[in-house]
Amino acid sequence: MQRIGVFVCHCGTNIAGTVDVAAVSEALKNEPGVVYSTNYQYMCSQAGQDIIKNAIAEHGLTGIVVCSCSPRMHEATFRKTAAAAGLNSYMVEIANIREQCSWVHKDMKTGTEKAIILGKAAVAKVNLNAPLTPGESPVTKRALVIGGGIAGIQTALDIADAGFPVDIVETKPTIGGKMAQLDKTFPTLDCAACILTPKMVDVAQNDKIRIFSYSEVTDVKGFVGNFDVTIKRRARYVKEDVCTGCGACTEKCPQKKIPNEFNLGMDNRRAIYIPFAQAVPKVATIDLDHCNMLKNGKCGVCAKVCAAGAIDYNAKDEYIEEKYGAIVAATGFNPISMDKFDEFAYSQSKDVITSLEFERLTNAAGPTGGKLLRPSDGEHPRTIVFVQCVGSRCDSCAQKGKEYCSKICCMYTAKHAMLTRDKYPDTDVYVFYIDVRTPGKNFDEFYRRAVEEYGVHYIKGMVGKVSPEGGKLMVQASDLIDNKQLRIEADLVVLAAAIEPDRSARPLATMLTASMDTNDFFTEAHPKLRPVESPTAGVFLSGTCQGPKDIPETVAQAGAAASKVIGLLAKDKLMGNPCVAHSDENMCNGCSTCENVCPYGAITYEEKEFRMPDRTTRIRRVARVNEAVCQGCGCCTVACMSGAMNLKGFKNEQILAEVDAICR
């Protein structure tokens, strides 16, 4: 029989406001096994924890129940408290009487009744708890960063700086990501390339970092400290270690009319190409879909002009398998498609562009060599209209865009408007906004400069319609302050498209068993306290794959993720989750049903000798759980007909006891 202590937390008025905490602790006093029951203002406080520790010592408690907030909040806290008092941490159960009781029920009577029942369930469970000891597993001292944008680059550099090897996997032929496509950066207006490319070079030159560009992760197995990852290296038909990046091939290739992704299709590239001059690795890549040689064996020009002999038309996709201790997701973002916003005529006119396209149009390395020219006729635009919040902050019932604020648009639009007025003072620039959001260091000052120094016309109101009319764009919008409808004849319309997570994130999350929100952003382990960790142990989040953010925030998060990774890799051993499956070999049929449903391959079989009741011996096949691999989902326990398989910490008996207590 256990000696159980019950500790009911008031959580200020959070619980005590709707639950009669004294009545709860009094009622639970009578439950079988309970020898001590009390309540206190804040159980998680030092004083509260001391109450628990003292009671454990004083009453010789063998198990404790804390009726408080969600176990997702403070289970770990109270487990530590118990451990500090010499009680096994797994002899602690939490009755969630805040999130799942006091906060959702208004009536004191029903709230109290329910709190008592939840407490009884927890007591019933603790009565059947057994001390558990976590197993240990070694840590592979190597990290994987998925995504080679500024987030991935910074994370990799920081990890490598601490002395651990890091691999970056990037789907594009070069690292650099979105930042490489930008012209200037707000609010300082320094050139993106000038601050990014040195970091790219650092990555290339760091002997701790390997870059797998033009590659993707195809399989992830294992668990924290021990991931087995399969990386597909797509054939680029150019030997990376031989190519000098001289670019001769990219000038001679006869296939010239391929839309250049790097410039968002605003100019063309060849079938063999280097995305941009500062690409890392600076090697050419052959585009399989457009190369004549690869498609029908007729060409071979690049091989002829390559002095280094780097071209290899027979290259195949390669798969490499590597072990990692930690994985960082840094898959980044993309602007959303403008398909559902046809009122802005994006599909009808070349002169309606997205802000990222505008970046390329103003970039010295872009399709116009940095001159702001209309895509349709190459003329200077005299009137430019910027539209903010295109697809951001939409209501879900409108089913068009995203519900969230994309965060970066206000600032880059101010930047675009300012730069335009700076370079071309003869241009009229209008910015239609719903709200201008500038919380950030020097952000509002930047926006005010655009208005005050550069004379950008900021208009509170939204563009309702853009219609191409005779080579111009008729922009119809409302000015809410002046309460009038405007019609502006514009030469160029720039849409601040909402951003969304990269499409590769969803399948990656599935492979990593990392959770995502409905918008496909990775979920953090805790929104405030663990913002750079995924709930899946060993998986960390860097950059916009977790939510919209600008460059400084991304770099900060990248560093934070790196430090978490370093913290993990610095350990020699990891303590596992002791709530793992366990097979009772006396009952095991050896039928492999559990093995078939185990997502981790944690179950193996062995032939074991048993003494039979008639004193003979028999050999039987029985299951064995690898506790380091088991993650404790419990799928096997239900698949197992005989009930030989049980889950420590969530045993059949424990759950049944909870059911009984609730239904009593």
Let me know the angle formed at the C-alpha of 484 by 479 and 488, rounded to the nearest 5 degrees. Answer: 70
CB of 545 to other proteins, least distance (A): 16
4: enclosing H helix or E strand: strand 4-9
Q: At what angle do helices 443-452 and 409-423 cross, to 10 degrees?
A: 40
CB of 14 to other proteins, least distance (A): 10
Q: Tell me how far apart the alpha carbons of residues 478 and 273 are, in angstroms, rounded to a whole number.
A: 46
CB of 453 to other proteins, least distance (A): 26
Task: Give the β-pairing of 92-96 and 136-138.
Answer: unpaired
The window from 29-37, 140-148, 156-164, 323-331 that contacts other proteins (CB under 8 A) reads: 29-37
Residue 644 lies near other proteins (rule: CB under 8 A): yes
Residue 662 lies near other proteins (rule: CB under 8 A): yes
Helices (H), 570-609: 593-597
Instruction: Restricting to residues 317-376, name those near other proteins by CB under 8 A.
Output: 343
CB of 124 to other proteins, least distance (A): 10
> What track of x and - describes contact with other proteins for positions 529 through 568 (by CB under 8 A)?
------xx--------------------------------
The window from 57-65, 113-121, 374-382, 437-445 that contacts other proteins (CB under 8 A) reads: 113-121
Residue 516 lies near other proteins (rule: CB under 8 A): yes
CB of 111 to other proteins, least distance (A): 7
Among 207, 241, 339, 395, binds other proteins (CB under 8 A): 395
Amino acid found at 461: G
**SS3 per-residue string spanning 458-513:** EEECCEEEEEEECCEEEEEEEECCCCEEEEEEECEEEEEECEEECCCHHHHHHHHC
- Please answer whether residues 500 and 334 qualify as being in contact, where contact means their C-beta atoms are separated by less than 8 angstroms: yes
Q: Tell me how far apart the alpha carbons of residues 229 and 222 are, in angstroms, rounded to a whole number.
A: 8
Q: Which is nearer to other proteins, 315 or 462 (CB)?
A: 462
CB of 60 to other proteins, least distance (A): 18
Instruction: Compute CA distances 568 → 59, 538, 540, whole Å.
Output: 38, 8, 11
227: enclosing H helix or E strand: strand 226-233
The window from 66-74, 243-251, 326-334, 438-446 that contacts other proteins (CB under 8 A) reads: 66-74
Instruction: Restricting to residues 245-274, name those near other proteins by CB under 8 A.
Output: none
SS3 content of the chain, % helix, strand, coil (to 5): 30, 25, 45
Among 8, 64, 118, 551, binds other proteins (CB under 8 A): 118
Residue 113 lies near other proteins (rule: CB under 8 A): yes
- Say which DSSP state 284 is in: -
CB of 105 to other proteins, least distance (A): 5
CB of 487 to other proteins, least distance (A): 10
Q: Tell me how far apart the alpha carbons of residues 236 and 310 are, in angstroms, rounded to a whole number.
A: 11
Helices (H), 301-442: 301-305, 355-362, 409-423
Instruction: Restricting to residues 451-490, name those near other proteins by CB under 8 A.
Output: 460-465, 476-480, 483, 485-486
CB of 172 to other proteins, least distance (A): 26
| Count of residues engaged in binding other proteins, rule: CB under 8 A | 108
Amino acid found at 107: D
CB of 30 to other proteins, least distance (A): 3
Q: Which of 617, 616, 634 minimizes the C-alpha distance to 625? A: 634
The window from 150-158, 231-239, 320-328, 617-625 that contacts other proteins (CB under 8 A) reads: 617-625
Mention every residue, 6+ apart, whose C-beta is less than 8 A from residue 179.
149, 150, 192, 196, 551
Residue 658 lies near other proteins (rule: CB under 8 A): yes
Among 72, 304, 448, 503, binds other proteins (CB under 8 A): 72
> What track of x and - describes contact with other proteins for positions 403 through 432 (by CB under 8 A)?
-----------------------------x
Q: Which is nearer to other proteins, 352 or 647 (CB)?
A: 647
The window from 131-139, 364-372, 373-381, 635-643 that contacts other proteins (CB under 8 A) reads: 635-643
Among 393, 449, 530, 624, binds other proteins (CB under 8 A): 393
Mention every residue, 6+ apart, whose C-beta is less than 8 A from residue 132.
88, 89, 90, 578, 579, 648, 649
CB of 32 to other proteins, least distance (A): 6
The window from 25-33, 194-202, 310-318, 548-556 that contacts other proteins (CB under 8 A) reads: 25-33
- Please answer whether residues 190 and 371 qualify as being in contact, where contact means their C-beta atoms are separated by less than 8 angstroms: no
The window from 226-234, 330-338, 390-398, 447-455 that contacts other proteins (CB under 8 A) reads: 390-398
CB of 532 to other proteins, least distance (A): 17
Q: Which is nearer to other proteins, 106 or 448 (CB)?
A: 106
User: What tokens does 459 get?
Assistant: 């208009």
Instruction: Restricting to residues 73-102, name those near other proteins by CB under 8 A.
Output: 73, 96, 98-101
Let me know the angle formed at the C-alpha of 182 by 177 and 187, rounded to the nearest 5 degrees. Answer: 120
Three-state SS for 335?
Answer: strand
Among 66, 117, 143, 151, binds other proteins (CB under 8 A): 117
Residue 664 lies near other proteins (rule: CB under 8 A): yes
Phi, psi of 579 (to 5 degrees): -80, 75
Q: Which is nearer to other proteins, 98 or 233 (CB)?
A: 98
CB of 404 to other proteins, least distance (A): 12
- Please answer whether residues 358 and 494 qualify as being in contact, where contact means their C-beta atoms are separated by less than 8 angstroms: yes
- Please answer whether residues 263 and 183 qualify as being in contact, where contact means their C-beta atoms are separated by less than 8 angstroms: no
> What track of x and - describes contact with other proteins for positions 576 through 615 (by CB under 8 A)?
---x------xxxxxxxx--xx-xx----x-------xx-
For the chain, the distance separating the N- and C-terminal CA atoms, rounded to the nearest angstrom, is 20
Q: Which is nearer to other proteins, 115 or 192 (CB)?
A: 115
Phi, psi of 188 (to 5 degrees): -95, -10
